[in-house]
Chains A and B, each alone.
Chain A
Amino acid sequence: MDFDFTPEEQAFRTEIREFLAENLPPRAERGRGFMGEWLKKVRDKRWVGFSWPEEYGGGSGSLTEQTILKEEMALAGAPPLGTSSMGLAWVGPGIMQYGTDEQKRRFIPDILDSKVNWCTGYSEPNHGSDLAAIQTKAERVGDHYVVNGQKIWTTGAPWADWIILLTRTDFDVERKHDGITCLLVPMNSPGIEVRPIENMAGDRNFAEVFFTDVQVPVENRLGEEGKGWSVTISALANERSSIGEVTQMFAKLESLKNLVRSTNRQGKPAADDPAVHRRIGEFEAKIAAMKYNGLRYLTKQLRGEPLSSETSVNKLHRASLEIEMDDFAVELTGLAGVQLPGSEEAVDGGRWARSSLGWPGVVIGGGTPNIQRNIIAERILGLPKGLIPSRSGRMSYAEP
């Protein structure tokens, strides 16, 4: 057991720090052209898609190096390394694993160069957590699929260039996980209509997406017909250790402590209140647990041991923590805490109140906490599965 890094890894860390010192000005000094330059520079460093193989334009970074890169970027409060978060998180890895050579040549460079933004067409009005039951239909007609149906809660759809779309090509299947086909579709295809939905924070960044006789060339199919579910699963499994997130959360905790230091409650400093200490201690314990959980799981990966669904542990922690920390800040500062940006009375410019309205969406988006609990209970603890649909569609508990 040791927490030291090799000289090469330390040199890599130094390289990142030097780069950031030179190329990441303070937020207030970042001009209009900053983002474009930033994206080009980190691309030149091959830090975009850092875990991807070099042959596809990635950085071939080791697991430990990826961890260091994420940690340093988060420590510096750096902007993202690309504009297409979903492209980098799972569309790209999915294409590298399942795509044809032609697809790899066509899509991967544009993701790395932030030329193309992707959105993800998974959830449907009647199928969210029960994703494998999707009904959006893709019918093979000659060298095209014809897609009809509807997606919803599609984050980024209002501005995305492409969508990775889960469709059903076969409705006559024993298992709902069969008959699903994954298609890559330009958002400007005739027959696609995007209707943004306003979320509770007032943003319009997710949407309903309607498909009416949308023609998708067969060469845009990712993986085999009817095998789209495994594409989805392995793409989601590409999520790596959450060290970058943990670093951001420690930074958020420091901001929270600063807020505590500058706040009086009942005429006395909040920083002297044992109840406040207790809450701050709880946050720190959970974030530290995420950190050391992450390092234990990283060690497993480095040793080539199979990682089960342990990453759900940190997902559950993060889901509750982000919301609890925002809510604590809001509650700590009384009615000033509920003021939004723009209010003269807002605390820290209203960032806590604003953030407290945004996090619920993120928490639901990655698979709801109850789905994560199902995953842990069934895949790690080996408990029996819950409700199982029969062929008639009626839900029942499976035979014991």
Chain B
Amino acid sequence: MDFGFSEEQNLLREQVLRFMTDACPLSVVRTQNGGLAHELWQKAADLGWLALIVPEAHGGVGLKWIDLAVVLEESGRGLSPLPIVSQALAATAIGRSASDDVKREWLPKIATGEAAFGIGLYDDPTWIDPEGIRLEGVQTLTGTKPYVSDATAATHFLLATRTDGELNLIIVDAKDATLAAQPGIDRTKPFGTATLDGVAPLAAFPMSNGDLAFLTDCGAVAVTLEAIGAAEAVLELTTEYATNRIQFGNPIGRYQGVKHRLADMFVDIESFKSLAYYAAWAIDDAPDELPRAASLAKAYASDAFARIGIDGVGLHGAIGFTAEYDAQLYLKRSKWVRSAFGDADYHYQRAARLGGL
């Protein structure tokens, strides 16, 4: 029984934290505009993070999602704009559903960062179900895929399509599609709508309903892991402010209206952290338990981080509402997380169904 990280995982955590502090602080994050930050991307690749969950046989490190969890948590702490989540989902999808030929060609490119993936699964933004995938075709495609995450940073898109009721994943060169960048609340999570006009994909492979659910669960776990770091950053920022900000002759953190809210934030973060770590572990080591574990973690985090985001701004008072202050960046992330890969309603209800209701 050991529900903690290893020494290697802790070293990896420190490495990511150092990278975020030195190379990618919020002052740099703020200058990003949806495109791929090539220098940072190359560094992330050099440090092996993009190869982490790619099998060794395909040029990867051959580790697990629970190792990647550390990278996601720490890059989430600094609101990293790098498309690491989409890259990891692409690696997972190809590793699970694609033919050996496709794996041989694409997994090494993912590992080195030569290909940077954007992901488009559901056409319907509120339907986590095979029915929510509408784009048709597999050999030549004409149509539109909305909500492609990290689209503006991507060199390639991994898109879900349907043919005669069967689901597929296709890999498309970003240059072969017409991309319309769409402004969203969180600029560190850029979106785009990809329009395809008679495009032949570079690769295509069938995806079962189970594979789609698995991939969606991995996505839910990934954004929840990022949310751990982000929520802790809000708590740290707000605790520091409450310790130093004097009103009525005292630090506001002395007043229970403030300190109890901060304590409740701690309780919530500790809790969805535990749920998310377990879910991340389950991806590779107990996949049967993943659906329930992912739903519990994502549901809890969706609501809790949203509250933390808004209170992080609110407890600062007016300064928290300014563009200059960082609290607002986290509030924006919390709004994005809430909707990504299923909201709290969806996941709580799914957990209840999985629990026998």
Contact = CB atoms under 8 A, between A and B. Distances in A.
A208 to B, nearest CB: 29
Given A284-B296, A288-B275, A295 B1 contact: yes
Contacts of B243: 382-384
Contact of A373 (B4, B249, B264, B352): B264
B165 interface: no
A286 B271 contact: yes
A94 B350 CA distance: 46
Given A281-B348, A289-B275, A400-B251, A376 B6 contact: no
Contacts of B237: none
B300 A280 contact: no
Given A289-B271, A382-B239, A257 B3 contact: no
B272 interface: yes
The A contact surface, by secondary structure, is: helix
Please indicate which of the listed interface residues A4, A271, A282 has the most CB atoms of chain B within 10 Å of its own CB. Answer: A282
Interface in B226-277: 235, 239, 242-243, 246, 249-251, 253-256, 259-260, 262-264, 266-267, 270-272, 274-275, 277
Contacts of A398: 254
A296 B274 contact: yes
Nearest to B258: A383
A109 to B, nearest CB: 32
Contacts of A105: none
B266 A374 contact: no
Nearest to B286: A3
Interface in A43-78: 64, 67
Interface residues of B, number: 53
A299 B352 contact: no
B352 A280 contact: yes
Contacts of A2: 1-2, 285
B271 A293 contact: yes
In this complex, which of A274, A281, A381, A386 has the most chain B Cβ atoms within 10 angstroms of its Cβ? A281
Contact of A374 (B249, B259, B345): B259
A306 to B, nearest CB: 14
B275 A285 contact: yes
- Of B1, B249, B262, chain A has the most CB atoms within 10 Å of the CB of B1
Contacts of A5: 1
B1 A384 contact: no
Interface in B281-303: 281, 285-286, 293, 295-297, 299-300
B243 to A, nearest CB: 6
Contacts, number: 174
B127 interface: no
Interface string A103-135: 000000000000000000000000000000000
B262 A384 contact: no
A377 B349 CA distance: 33
A277 B278 contact: no
A261 interface: yes
Contact of A289 (B3, B254, B256, B300): B300
B351 interface: yes
B275 A292 contact: yes
Interface string A303-319: 10000001001001100
A67 B2 CA distance: 13
Contact of B271 (A3, A257, A295, A317): A317
A383 B242 contact: yes
Contacts of A380: 266
A34 B344 CA distance: 47
A4 to B, nearest CB: 7
A302 interface: yes
Interface in A354-400: 370, 372-374, 376-378, 380-386, 397-398, 400
B300 A285 contact: yes
A165 interface: no
Given A292-B278, A384-B254, A277 B357 contact: yes
A91 interface: no
Given A285-B300, A292-B277, A298-B3, A316 B267 contact: yes
B66 interface: yes
Given A293-B274, A299-B1, A280 B249 contact: no
23 contacts: A1-B4, A3-B1, A280-B352, A281-B348, A281-B355, A288-B275, A288-B296, A289-B270, A292-B275, A296-B3, A302-B1, A313-B267, A316-B264, A317-B267, A374-B256, A377-B253, A377-B259, A377-B260, A382-B243, A383-B242, A386-B256, A400-B251, A400-B254
Give the 9 A-B residue pairs with the shortest CB-CB distance, closest first: A281-B348, A292-B274, A289-B271, A277-B352, A373-B263, A377-B259, A376-B263, A383-B253, A277-B349
Given A281-B347, A281-B350, 7 more contacts: A3-B286, A285-B300, A303-B4, A313-B267, A373-B264, A377-B259, A398-B254
